[in-house]
Chains A and B, each alone.
Chain A
């Protein structure tokens, strides 16, 4: 058996390279999927109910060189090398000095008392990461431009021209290699997160009740929950429509009841806290093997478009606690730093620097970042279990 202490998933949850996905849906019209309704929708279901299973759930990244003109965020060893005088850089870059170089850069990942920059990121002082420089991002207007509880922050404009987009998670994470990738197409996170939804680990379902019209309906109940059932898939791994799923009834149970409305084929929900499953297997015996982790979207809301082919497509937005964004490498521990080269401490510091939501009552500082996830769901039969047994219902 292999040691798990050095294993980690290199994904960092948040926004990611879904530009390719958008292009596939609406070629040549990036961003329009979010804003426009579909004129060719079928009549609403007779019983007013529609079920869906979420096939895509990943942060949307707007590709293009203007976003990260200085390149992607350096890995730990690249950052270490860049911190050295030129002559020393040249010496360590020699093949025969690789063992010394490895020893030295990996030493930057550990600290006194058996600490490391991923397990205890708040105990290390690291430079802030490169951030997205482009004014364009996908996302929702979470503060409606008014600020309120939000801290001062820059806002983006969507590719479709919508202003006031809040997405500080993308600002911070959008230049990491994991999100942006190296080929101008997509980052690893786009495909990496998919497995969790295909395996039943994070699989999500949506159940819409009380639909009277796709044109206008002010009262739609939306159940947004996890299911332990695996979606059946075709040979290419695409989920098959029409499968049955039952809302999870074992802890930790996540069943969010949202109040929604439909306007011209666009479903939106009122802000509330949305919690969804996110577990990680890495981390060894050091912790709870990821069972402590989850997705939390404070003031979370959905904006989804009904498609003529039956799909629901759009965004989930909200404010995510800063640490939650790096929980995968944090659970991975030192292996995330020395195996995948992730600077968890730098990431957390940058996330907190750009945090724009959920003020700490004592310090007055924001502790969460505005965030968005691209959501694509396909028709399914959803068996709701409103009453939890032995688990906390939400």
Chain B
């Protein structure tokens, strides 16, 4: 007997008045011959986007390659990435243009990279961060529009938001992240059973009813208030989309498997704990991506003015960068650089975790575009030109990898523009004032 493996052939029925579909487990047969699309539906394998942030920059002479192009040289602080260098791009010599705004230490650089604007306010972001824009493009049909995580604690440690002083708060506990991802509400895409959650159905119906009132309210207020309402209702619409997703039988996914629960453990800025928390969060994130719970993420390894310490010490990474004199013979600060080593080991763990997951002939890393960056070039002086940046993964073949790109002093907004274009956002220029650009980085676009 021939079996039709399209999702539309799944069993349908009613449960307490709710529509129910019952699928079948995922087999390799769900992928097409190239492994680039779901054979059953023809829909492409999901392409994901995420950011990975670390605070306090690098020692520039020990990090940036000398030779632009493929086969870049690896300086001591980049040496850990060697096994993955062919899947990683290094971006250097892109500048943050301030246009008269002050350089707010540990703040201006990251905000400019994410928004293409110079920061003028104390808190929040000066505009929408491009990860949110990308999320609006690719993240609307998953359970979570995006996941924000901070391995060093502090839910406010985030560079993601729609502007106007708002930030998407970060999850700080791996245990809580597990519960959010795989606890109540999780639908295993490979499970044979699917039962829509009556609570979710009720919430959706409530929102539908509110929708009428929303439209009436929008008609009743002035332009300024409508603008304020718009950001709020954008969130509401996201919620509606996500509820819709939860009432739809998920696409079976080859690499998805549910991880065992994560136990509560200390959340603080001690580097030893941060490394463990980061690893746990990474493992959970990887499976959230493999299970298509989200297609957008933001991982903060530490914060901008890094609070990292070593266990038993009160001396922070930030303190060392300012207190420890630069040794001109060595060309760096030896004590502060200890933390850099741990940071790039964690980055390699993150990349390798994505690369371990096979999705057809490609890996999850290949089907993802990760943008990693800091907020300063050299923390001691708060320099924001030439902030170290990387991309990892090829976004399903849309991005070339293994390159060092010398930005030659052009605006850092070129990076954000390029990443959005790679992820399918319809944008041909981005940024404001001196950071307004329509020149994407052609070297890395496939």
Q: Spell out A's residues near B (CB within 8 Å).
A: 1-4, 6-11, 20, 75, 95-96, 98-99, 102, 177-178, 181-183, 185-188, 191-192, 195, 198-201, 228, 230, 232-233, 235, 250, 279-282, 284-285, 289-291, 338-341
Contacts and interface: CB of A to CB of B under 8 A. Distances in A.
A233 B409 contact: yes
B305 A7 contact: yes
Nearest to A106: B314
Given A177-B325, A183-B327, A285-B122, A6 B383 contact: no
Contacts of B406: 235
Contacts of B105: 4, 7-9, 281-282
Interface in B78-123: 93, 95, 97-100, 102-108, 111, 122-123
B304 interface: yes
A2 B304 contact: yes
16 contacts: A1-B159, A2-B107, A7-B105, A9-B382, A10-B323, A10-B380, A182-B325, A183-B329, A195-B382, A232-B409, A233-B409, A281-B102, A281-B103, A282-B104, A289-B104, A339-B322
Interface in B313-372: 313-316, 318-319, 322-323, 325-329
A281 B312 contact: no
Given A1-B156, A2-B55, A201 B103 contact: yes
B102 A291 contact: yes
Interface in B218-273: none
Contacts of B95: 230
B158 to A, nearest CB: 7
Given A185-B328, A235-B406, A4 B122 contact: yes
B95 to A, nearest CB: 8
B385 A8 contact: no
Top 9 nearest A-B pairs (CB, nearest first) are A2-B304, A281-B102, A7-B105, A102-B314, A185-B328, A340-B322, A281-B103, A2-B305, A192-B381
Interface in B30-87: 55
Given A2-B303, A6-B318, A182-B327, 6 more contacts: A2-B106, A7-B382, A9-B381, A75-B323, A281-B108, A338-B319
B157 interface: yes
A105 to B, nearest CB: 10
What is the predominant secondary structure among interface residues of chain A facing chain B? loop
A7 B316 CA distance: 12
B385 A99 contact: no
Given A1-B124, A201-B103, A282-B104, A11 B381 contact: yes
Contacts of B399: none
B167 interface: yes
B232 to A, nearest CB: 21
A183 B326 CA distance: 9
Contacts of A181: 325-326, 328
B409 A1 contact: no
A102 B106 contact: no
Interface in B293-322: 303-305, 312-316, 318-319, 322
Interface of B: 55, 93, 95, 97-100, 102-108, 111, 122-124, 156-159, 167, 303-305, 312-316, 318-319, 322-323, 325-329, 375, 380-385, 406, 408-409
Contacts of B98: 199-201
Nearest to A282: B105
Contacts of B100: 200, 228, 250
A284 B159 CA distance: 18
Contact of B383 (A98, A177, A195): A195
B312 A10 contact: no
* Best-buried of B319, B327, B384, B406 by chain A (most CB within 10 Å): B319
- Among B123, B124, B322, which residue has the most Cβ atoms of chain A within 10 A? B322
Contact of A188 (B156, B157, B380): B380
A233 B94 CA distance: 12
A63 to B, nearest CB: 11
A188 B325 CA distance: 7
Contacts of B381: 9, 11, 188, 191-192, 195
Contacts of B316: 339
A335 to B, nearest CB: 9
A7 B106 CA distance: 8
Nearest to B322: A340
B157 A1 contact: yes
A1 B107 contact: yes
Given A192-B381, A195-B381, A1 B167 contact: yes
Contacts of A11: 381
A160 to B, nearest CB: 24
A95 B312 contact: yes
Contacts of A282: 104-105, 382
A234 to B, nearest CB: 9
B147 to A, nearest CB: 18
B323 A1 contact: no
Contacts of A178: 325
B166 to A, nearest CB: 11
Contacts of B323: 10, 75, 339-341
Q: Which of B104, B156, B159 has the most CB of A within 10 A?
A: B104
Contacts of B157: 1-2
Given A4-B105, A4-B107, A182-B327, A192 B380 contact: yes
Nearest to A228: B100
Contacts of A75: 323
A199 B325 contact: no
A153 B234 CA distance: 68
A281 B322 CA distance: 15
Contacts of B103: 199, 201, 281
A317 B102 CA distance: 27
